[in-house]
Chains A and B, each alone.
Chain A
Amino acid sequence: MTARAGTTAQELLRLGGVTVRFGTAGRPALDAVDLDVAAHEIVCVLGPSGSGKSTLLRVVAGLQRADAGTVLLEGRDQSGVPAHRRGVGLMFQDHQLFPQRDVEGNVAFGLRMRRAARGERERTVAELLDLVGLPGAQGRAVASLSGGEQQRVALARALAPRPRLLMLDEPLGQLDRGLRERLVVELRRLFRELGTTVLAVTHDQGEAFALADRVVVMQDGRIAQTGTPLEVWQRPATEFVARFLGFDNVVGATVQGEAAATPWGKVPVPDGTADGPCRLLVRPAGVRLTAAPEGLPCTVAARTFRGTHVALLLRPAAGPQVEAACALRDAPEVGERVGIAFAAQEVVVLDAPESAE
């Protein structure tokens, strides 16, 4: 799957077959996960809650023991290395700032643990607070910080000891949308500048795509897909990934030549698609509205204004509902009858789900 075979000096983190079980019964929280993170890379693990993302971070941090598998940091096995000797940083989901310390006390904590001299500590804290946009906040009480400010302090605290790997658990989860979008850009710039290696987990695809060099989608403790944000977005590997990304136009199909037979009728498929049964995804952008008599006849069930476009929910004469996107001025009213056609370049053939194998 990855081009970088074998452990090179570039490989900062390597997980091999990591498995974690909570309790004896039920499926494992992590099921034989393999994951590599190269130095200076920003990797974002994306998945719904309960998919094992946070457990993954805790295993790397040394806060959770793996029942099987290995964690290598810079090529060295970390089993038996306690959390405080691993030299990795973890920014907790709800920050976990120390309430009884002020901002400086929080940011300098990791430096004190490494016995940094006072002067160096003060200099580093000042630099980092500048970096996260809170210059001069050293003496402020944690309780007086807003959510966004706490976020920045937590980030500065995690960065201060210069961890070889920085891990972020839902880094922007609790912030409002505007702040989140601004911070994502800031964070990416910051990590680039510092050359920090980052492993983040989130359930928010927007956050993951904006932040990451590489996205890892998790499902039920397993890795469902790995790739650049563009790859994952354009070519979701499985139906789970497609649906998690918000694509719901997924149907069973049988490919024959340049088209596939679906409940919606014939749908064109990209060149080179193998014949046979499969699952098909049609992105909303690939659903073209036509004049009523042409194409598949549908009724408009709902329309939602999305700012740049209008999302339509269409009920076809046969088969499941179809989502479509169109410009505002072309958008039909609810209840109107329209016809639809499909564009081959927006059609993705998905891997069959593993359970069907």
Chain B
Amino acid sequence: MAVPLAFFALFFAYPVVAIVGRGLKDGGQWQLGRFGAVLGDPDIAHVLWFTVWQAAASTGLTLLIALPGAYVFARFAFPGKQLLRAVVAVPFVLPTVVVGSAFLALVGRGGLLDELWGLRLDTSVWAILLAHVFFNYAVVVRTVGGLWAQLDPRQEEAARMLGAGRFEAWRRVTLPALGPAVAAAALMVFLFTFTSFGAVQILGGPTFATLEVEIYRQTAEFLDLPTAAVLTMVQFAAVLGVLALHALAVRRRESALRLVPAAQTAHRPRGRGQWALLWGTLGVITVLLIVPLAVLVERSFDGPDGYGAGFYTSLRSAATADSTFAVAPLDALWNSLAYGAAATAIALVVGGLAAAALTLPRLRRGPSGRTACVSRFVRGFDALLMLPLGVSAVTVGFGFLISLDTPPLDLRASWWLVPLAQALVGVPFVVRTMLPVLRAVDGRLREASAVLGASPWRVWREVDLPMVRRALLIAAGFAFAVSLGEFGATVFIARPDQPTLPVAVARLLGRAGELNYGQAMALSTILMVVCAAALLILERLRPLDHSGEF
């Protein structure tokens, strides 16, 4: 537990506190009056209201659309399932800027729908909501579906035998078992959409702005650090509130679940209803997830002289017409991969230790006396791990720059600065993915191995670890993916000669000209392919699970 705590203190709390302090302190005095001034502003109030409203709507819509998808992925066996699982996860890791552009190309002025039916959504909130569903579909499918696939279907069968209808059995048996996972997924989606940045900025135009967009504008455009600091605090408080609610909801629901190998629970769809569900899900995925990606790919090949790989070949050289880079854009790929791997390793170690600490039996025992204080501390720690998702990435990135600049912590020139910031976003995924499964491990298996002579550490390694290996791989995939796609913090701290893919894409998009736009689309396509490949490899690793040591 000490390691994750130190990690968060040093690389999260310190930078954020530093920048907030810089914003709110004037000549050594805290200027708390700024809160009233900023919050009294009707524009800010409107931003606040919109942020909450769109996050709730996005979360609801995502759950509505993605839960049937989670069921399909958990329970049905069909050809191409693994490939599709990876495809579904790709949107999540795409830079928000690129997704914004892709949706603009789909539903905006002169976009595909505009050309076909004269339909435009870019001035409505629907474009934002759909983009959010596009991003977060995988969160629900993976978090909920991962557990769902391992739930013993016989539990539901037992309920059926006791007279419960199909839906009744699902509602009474499966849904409560899935509860923590659904809550975890909903919480993640809410936090992501609450702090949504790139998509809202592009699709929202001047009408719609979230807190994060406002913070960015105050920081980068108006250089109004005090206002940005106040908004950061507000966002922080809101996130804390959501996390507290979540802790309350989840605490009562945890129970030991019967987990079975995922392969055993999947079957081919039977009957008209199940086939319809499968095809419906495939349809949703196609329209919502694949079409925007297809438009993106199409544009990367759509050069001035017709279709061709021109944009891709131009990526290899640093010296393009108006060069924005000291290095070839393609080098960004290798930077991203190296940063991503390092960030994943850090996130797995920190998140894994945190999740293990949270499930240690001695910390969970007893609702009375001294232990109550311990378990409250544990829950607080649990919530703390989620904070990086809720705190403005822009703030974190900027905070890194101004706080980690004095020896012995002068990391500004260090290669590790970027992976450290990226790991911060990855850790919550690792913890969230592993915790439900770790907590569902039957305690008597741990006892069985203890009686056979395994020390507590050994028990964790021999019993818990093999059981959570699947969750661990999923977590690793997510951590790697969010590291690849991380933009808000990285854009502040990545060195000019070592850009990551999203940073490179953003730089290209920031420049006018068809070549830059095409190159951005080409780089985005590469990023998409890399993420898909990484996730596919993880999917392939799974069948080997049951053999050998970890």
List A residues at the B interface (Cβ < 8 Å). 61-63, 82-90, 92, 94, 96, 98-101, 109-110, 113-114, 141, 143, 157-158, 161
Contacts and interface: CB of A to CB of B under 8 A. Distances in A.
- Which 3 A-B residue pairs are closest in the complex by CB-CB distance? A113-B453, A110-B452, A83-B450
Given A100-B466, A100-B545, A100-B546, A109 B452 contact: yes
Interface stretch (B52-60, B169-177, B455-463, B533-541): B455-463
Nearest to A85: B453
15 contacts: A82-B450, A82-B456, A84-B451, A84-B453, A84-B454, A84-B455, A84-B459, A85-B453, A96-B447, A100-B466, A100-B546, A109-B452, A109-B462, A143-B264, A157-B452
Interface residues of B, number: 24
B82 interface: no
A161 B453 contact: yes
Nearest to B450: A83
Given A92-B444, A98-B445, A100-B546, A83 B451 contact: yes
Contacts of B459: 84
B450 A84 contact: yes
A92 B448 contact: yes
B453 A114 contact: yes
Nearest to B458: A113
A96 B459 CA distance: 14
Contacts of A63: 447, 450-451
B467 interface: yes
Contacts of A99: 260-261
Contacts of A158: 452
Contacts of B114: none
Given A83-B447, A100-B545, A89 B452 contact: yes
A113 B454 contact: yes
B467 A100 contact: yes
Contacts of A87: 453
B449 interface: yes
Residue among A61, A82, A84, A110 with the highest chain B CB neighbour number at 10 A: A84
Interface of B: 260-261, 264, 442, 444-445, 447-456, 458-459, 462-463, 466-467, 545-546
Contacts of B447: 61, 63, 83, 90, 92, 96
B452 A113 contact: yes
A141 B454 CA distance: 22
A183 B448 CA distance: 22
Contacts of B456: 82, 84
Nearest to A113: B453
A311 B463 CA distance: 51
B175 to A, nearest CB: 25
Contacts of B463: 98
Given A83-B451, A110-B453, 15 more contacts: A82-B450, A84-B450, A84-B459, A86-B451, A87-B453, A92-B444, A92-B448, A94-B444, A96-B444, A98-B462, A99-B261, A113-B458, A114-B453, A141-B546, A161-B452
Contacts of A143: 261, 264
A61 B449 CA distance: 12
Residue among A83, A99, A143 with the highest chain B CB neighbour number at 10 A: A83
A100 B451 CA distance: 18
A168 B466 CA distance: 26
A114 B452 CA distance: 9
Contact of A96 (B445, B466, B545, B546): B445
A63 B444 CA distance: 10
Contacts of B442: 96
A82 to B, nearest CB: 7
A62 B361 CA distance: 14
Contacts of B451: 61-63, 83-84, 86, 88-90
Contacts of A157: 452
A139 to B, nearest CB: 11
A268 B261 CA distance: 65
A181 B450 CA distance: 30
Contacts of A109: 449, 452, 454, 462
Contacts of B453: 84-85, 87, 110, 113-114, 161
Nearest to A64: B447
A143 B258 CA distance: 14
A233 B294 CA distance: 81
Nearest to B447: A63
B546 to A, nearest CB: 6
Contacts of A92: 444, 447-448
Contacts of B466: 98, 100-101
Residue among B452, B454, B459, B463 with the highest chain A CB neighbour number at 10 A: B452
Residue among A63, A85, A94, A143 with the highest chain B CB neighbour number at 10 A: A63
Contacts of A110: 452-453
A85 B442 CA distance: 22
Contacts of B462: 98, 109
B154 to A, nearest CB: 13
Given A109-B462, A113-B458, A96 B448 contact: yes
Contacts of A83: 447, 450-451
A274 B260 CA distance: 62
A110 B459 CA distance: 11
Contacts of B545: 100
Contacts of B467: 100
A92 B442 CA distance: 13
Contacts of B454: 84, 109, 113
Nearest to A58: B447
B453 to A, nearest CB: 4
A157 B455 CA distance: 17
Nearest to B462: A109
B503 to A, nearest CB: 41
Nearest to B455: A84
A89 B546 CA distance: 26
Nearest to B368: A24
